[in-house]
A and B are shown apart, each in its own frame.
Chain A
Amino acid sequence: MMNTSTGDERIATHHVSVYYQGNKEALSDVSLTFHAGEISALIGPSGCGKSTFLRCLDLMNREITGCRVDGLIMYHDQDINQHADLFTTRQRIGMVFQQPNPFGMSIYGNIALALRRHGVPKAKIKGIVEESLRSAALWDEVKDKLHSHARALSGGQQQRLCIARTLALDPDVILMDEPCSALDPIATHAIEDTMQSLAARGISVIVVTHNMQQALRVADTTAFFYLGEMIESGKTEQIFSNPHDARLRDYVEGRFG
């Protein structure tokens, strides 16, 4: 699905740099803009800083001791890197991880836990659970076993449950860190479909992937990271068919990475 509508600017970074303990620079001066209703892929070889960048966007780097993030991260006209309610921001900007990581409880409990903690009235929770499972294309498979253990699901189902868990909080940005790397091709396909339906609802989906085919299949825009720098970004088509930077050209042609 190519870019159908270039929506409003949803989240943007301006000159973001990340330093780990001992002033080691992990990411240098990255400025990128992500729009509503778009899927954006972050590609690059291992250790290029794409996951570090993703973790900036929902302030997860703050959980790492000694990690410092410089620059502006603009979200709804506010620099969340400077002043943000950490916990509200993380509800509005969801994150899905590389390994499916459901909690050790029931399918229902996985989605309801955060809702309960955020004070959603009990009467509403049931509806939200169903709605978010439907959005993650998991409802039909689990509707009869909502109270069985989440880890009894297959890897792909677990990952869609993790997406549903994030969707339940009604985010407008969803970050995915190589969400398919632990999944088989069929499960991968299901997750990619889900990404597209999320984007169609106006959510800004940002996905880190080492799989260039995946970026080609789903992403409207793509950004290439290399050695802690953002080298080139643009429409996915252009990035893959007509890369300007020599390093990106080598990467796309499979010379490294």
Chain B
Amino acid sequence: MRETSITVHAMRARRVDRIATSVLIAIAASLCLLLGIMIGYVLVMGAGKMFDPSFLFGKPQQFKAGGGIGPELFNSFYLLVITLIISVPLALGAAIFLVEYAPDNVIVHVAKMAIEVLASLPSIVVGLFGFLFFVLMMGWGFSIISGALALTMFNVPILVRVIQQALESVPLDQRDAGLALGMTRWETTLFILLPAAMPAIITGIILSAGRVFGEAAALIYTAGQSAPVLDFTCFDLTNPSCPWNIFRPAETLAVHIWKINSEGVVPVLTAISDGTAAVLLVCILLFNLVARFIGRTLSRRLSA
């Protein structure tokens, strides 16, 4: 009697387990399918343009057919680099402070909450704030620096969280070992904790770069919607056509897609928009792959 009830129970448990497993697999599969369809669609639609050098590196046309996205492509990368140059040191400093130094008091709690809130601000709000503050009040106009600072505002909180988690996942005994050898907290952080956390930090930075790269809303009102013709032989940093000038307007790929779709008058604008979308997507996929690769290589080397 008792044995049968155990068997019945075991069979029931096994059946429930099978059902749960198949439901979970179905959910995961449909997510992959959804992603696959979207990526596939964008790539197929943009395939015609994506491999065309005159599209990738050419100048955009306002009214004629043809034209490329050369300046937009450059702007996207340049803006990303400037953003990372500003946001990585800030985020590193904030995360190290929060993990290693911050006392457990009200001010620190408020700061932590501020970072959380900043991380969830809608990007259009960040963009409009950037427009009012950087573009108008500071008088920097639509420029790379205005755009980079706006992007910094929502990149920093994400980076802080990633770096914080990376530092917290270093075992406590590493910290103790450094301190017990008479090193200061700063030396311990710099020479022991940061190297140990580096694979996770680098992965996090590259993943955040993917988000920054594809951002449009925060840039429309800060980095602007126009791409001056760039002259790569010009190194006069005050000249608007100098590519390295951070006070020139700089339309990025994502903003370009938004603009030609909302107010473009150029013929074949769908083709241009599709091509741009495909290029943007490929770049972001590359960021993800590179992040995984570097993260894995580094952690393998560090834990040999």
**Footprint of B on A, CB under 8 Å?**
58, 60, 63, 65, 87-91, 94-95, 97, 99, 101, 103-105, 113-114, 117-118, 148-149, 151-152, 162, 165-166, 169
Pairs A–B under 8 Å by Cβ, sample size 26: A58-B180, A60-B180, A65-B103, A87-B182, A90-B182, A95-B180, A97-B173, A97-B177, A99-B173, A101-B174, A101-B177, A103-B178, A103-B196, A104-B174, A104-B302, A113-B181, A113-B191, A114-B183, A117-B191, A118-B182, A148-B304, A152-B304, A162-B177, A165-B177, A166-B181, A169-B182
Q: How many residues of B contact A (CB 8 A)?
A: 22
Number of contacts between A and B (CB, 8 Å)? 68
Main secondary structure of the interface of B (DSSP, over half): helix
Residues of chain B with a CB closer than 8 A to A165's CB = 177, 181
A90 contact from B171, B179, B196, B302, Cβ within 8 A: B179
B17 interface hit (Cβ, 8 Å): no
In the bound complex, what is the Cα–Cα distance between A169 and B181 (angstroms)? 8
**Contact yes or no, A104 B195, CB < 8 A:** yes
Q: Which residues of B contact A169 (CB under 8 A)?
A: 181-182
Cβ-defined contact, A60 with B179, below 8 A: yes
Contact among B104, B174, B182, B304 with A114 in the assembled complex (CB-CB below 8 Å): B182
Nearest CB in chain A: distance from B290 CB, A? 23
Q: A117-B187, A152-B304 are in contact. Are A103 and B174 (CB under 8 A)?
A: yes
Give, as a whole number of angstroms, the nearest-CB distance from A178 to chain B. Answer: 12
User: Given known contacts A90-B182, A101-B171, what 16 new A-B pairs fall within 8 Å (CB)?
Assistant: A60-B180, A63-B176, A63-B179, A65-B103, A87-B184, A94-B180, A103-B174, A103-B192, A105-B195, A113-B181, A114-B182, A149-B303, A151-B304, A165-B181, A169-B181, A169-B182
- Residue numbers in B under 8 Å from A166 (CB-CB): 180-181
* A149-B180 in contact given A103-B192, A104-B195, A117-B187 (Cβ < 8 Å): no
Chain A residues with CB under 8 A of B183: 87, 114, 117
Shortest Cβ distance from B184 into A: residue: A87
Interface string of B184-200 (1 = CB under 8 A from A): 10010001100110000
In the complex, how many angstroms separate the beta carbon of A108 from the nearest chain B beta carbon? 14
Task: Please provide the 6 A-B residue pairs with the shortest distance between their CB atoms, ordered closest to farther.
Answer: A91-B182, A149-B304, A114-B181, A95-B180, A90-B182, A101-B173
